[in-house]
Amino acid sequence: MVRTVSINGPDRRTSSVGAVTDAAKRLYVTTPIYYVNAEPHLGHAYTTIIGDALTRWHRLLGDDVKFLTGTDEHGLKIQQAAEAAGLSPQDFTDSIAPKFVEAWKRLNIANDDFIRTTEPRHKAAVAEILQRCYDAGDIELDVFQGLYCVPCELYYSEDELIQPGNLCPIHQRPVEYFEEENYFFRLSRFEDRLLDWYAKHPTAMKPEHRGNEALGLIRGGLRDFSISRTSIQWGIPLPWDPKHVTYVWFDALTNYLAAVGYGQASDTGTGSYEDWWPADYHLIGKDIVRQHCVYWPAMLMSAGIEPPKGWAIGGWLLSGGEKMSKTSGNVVNPLDLIDEVGLDGFRYYVLADTAYGNDGDFTYEGLVARYNSDLANNLGNLLARVATVVGKKCDGVGTRPDPSSPLAAVAATAYTDTVAGWDIVQPSRALDATWQLIRATNGHLEANEPWKAEPGPDVDRVMGDALEALRIVAILVQPAMPDAAQAVWERIGMTGQVGDQRLPDAAAWGQYAGGVAVTKGDALFPRLTV
Ligand code: MSP
């Protein structure tokens, strides 16, 4: 293997190419579990695709990743949706959960597990954590009266609501007055402990501006929150007082522990939950920061469990300026978009178009513009022109790169920047870094014009450089576009699965050996018109 560059950085992923790598690191990545009152839409697909690509990136680094997604099936909202559909809650959830499983299959989501909160393993984990917090004295009975938003499954104080009319700030519809005897989790006792913990883990919440919002919530003062109801049946009973069922968030958040075996007998073969816990990344939308970054670590502390190592907080995908949601009636079905721009065209758009953490505005025109500029005109065009010139000037056989090509340094920078993008869970930055290499390679071809030159060593060298760049690009885009990356890989004559490559070694310049058939094939990303 020719190694002409060294890629420097603080850890093994960015360490010099060829350095001895550590043993595989275990990584646990989760998405929110989605309410089954709605069918999967683009908003759900957004967070799930980010999680999938992050998982695939870490697999390229050799990490042993567990990627979890699933469905949130209890609570009043689901009970009401089931009633409206004329079904029992169980039959209703049984009819919707498979639609999420199916949608994620079509989006090529590589989740290792799919948890439903109606499963016995989940119920066991919820009972266990509730009992732990109760035994710790952090759950107590009290009378609750308040204003409740059913779609949010949250109580609000009047000053948090839109006035006049006591409207929910998220759903902009009136909240309901409830009064009942509830068990409460004494969140107010955790203010200092949470602030201390976050002070010691300053980069746990990414991006920083979203993390600051969560810290602001804690600093603003924490109120105890209700964790149980006697008025609804569709939920998990409290182990010590079964006429109460647990309130939706205590139930939902525990899925992350349930899926790694918490609360289950060790003879179920799942090993210890601590093999995977604490989770490395909870990917969540900005709408559920309070529950994930404030309630959840406090619940875990109460139960004597380590908080997660990280949260990656995304903004919303807006449609017509509003959050895409069933209530707003502006949902886009992700599966329809696959028909328009192809699976990987769609995945690429989701990952590249919006800086994770910010809101993004979905428009069909934006999708097509992004597809045409980055995929049809850049990557697709590079692949097609390389195959054409190799066909005409090199008898269709790939040639070797120049060890001292100017593209070698560009590739090294692209790799380091791609690593840096994924490290801070910014897929758009990671992809942009890879696109620098694609653009530079197109530029290299334009500067050398091999299509005008006579066949010979000069043409061979330039085409070898472009093929080598495409080899590296195929690896770096694999987390975002697994099928397209494999197609690039095969067209330049590489064998095996591109996803089996291991970084950082596979990104070192000079490994394209040449001597293999390069095939043109149909346009990988045909240009689209709006
Ligand atoms: N069931 C709860 C989460 C429990 S997690 C322990 C829930 N479900 S949800 O289906 O309403 O939404 C879950 C997540 O889906 C949001 O936090 C967000 O990550 C994602 N999105 C839903 N709509 C979205 C957009 N329009 N845009 C981007 N993401 C959005 O809340």
Among residues 58, 66, 74, 149, which one is catalytic?
149
CB 305 within 8 A of CB 345: no
- Assigned token pair, 277: 């816990």
What burial letters (b/e) apply to 279-308, b meaning 16+ CB within 10 Å?
bbbbbbbbbbbbbbbbbbbbbbbbbebebb
C-alpha 391/C-alpha 270 separation (Å) is 53
Q: Is the CB of 258 under 6 A from ligand 1?
A: no
Pocket test for ligand 1, best of 33, 35, 44 (most atoms within 8 A of CB): 44
pLDDT tens per residue, the chain (530 residues)?
Answer: 332 333 333 344 444 443 434 557 999 999 999 999 888 988 899 999 999 999 999 999 999 999 999 999 998 889 999 999 999 999 999 999 999 999 999 999 999 999 999 999 999 999 999 999 999 999 999 987 889 888 887 788 888 999 999 999 988 999 999 888 889 999 999 999 999 999 999 999 999 999 999 999 999 999 999 999 887 889 999 999 999 999 779 999 999 999 999 998 765 555 689 999 999 999 999 999 999 999 999 999 999 999 999 999 999 988 777 776 666 677 778 778 888 899 999 999 999 999 999 999 888 889 999 999 999 999 999 999 999 999 999 999 999 999 999 999 999 999 999 999 999 999 999 999 999 999 999 999 999 999 999 999 999 999 999 999 999 999 999 999 999 999 999 999 999 999 999 999 999 999 999 999 999 999 999 999 87
The residue whose CA has the least distance to atom 16 of ligand 1 is 285
Checking phi first, is residue 203 left (phi over 0); if not, alpha (psi -120 to 50) or beta?
Answer: alpha
C-alpha 113/C-alpha 67 separation (Å) is 7
**393 is a catalytic site residue:** no
Among residues 25, 99, 309, 326, which one is catalytic?
326
C-alpha 395/C-alpha 249 separation (Å) is 63
Q: What is the pTM of this model?
A: 0.91
**168 is a catalytic site residue:** yes
CB 508 within 8 A of CB 3: yes
**44 is a catalytic site residue:** yes
Among residues 171, 286, 309, 520, which one is catalytic?
171
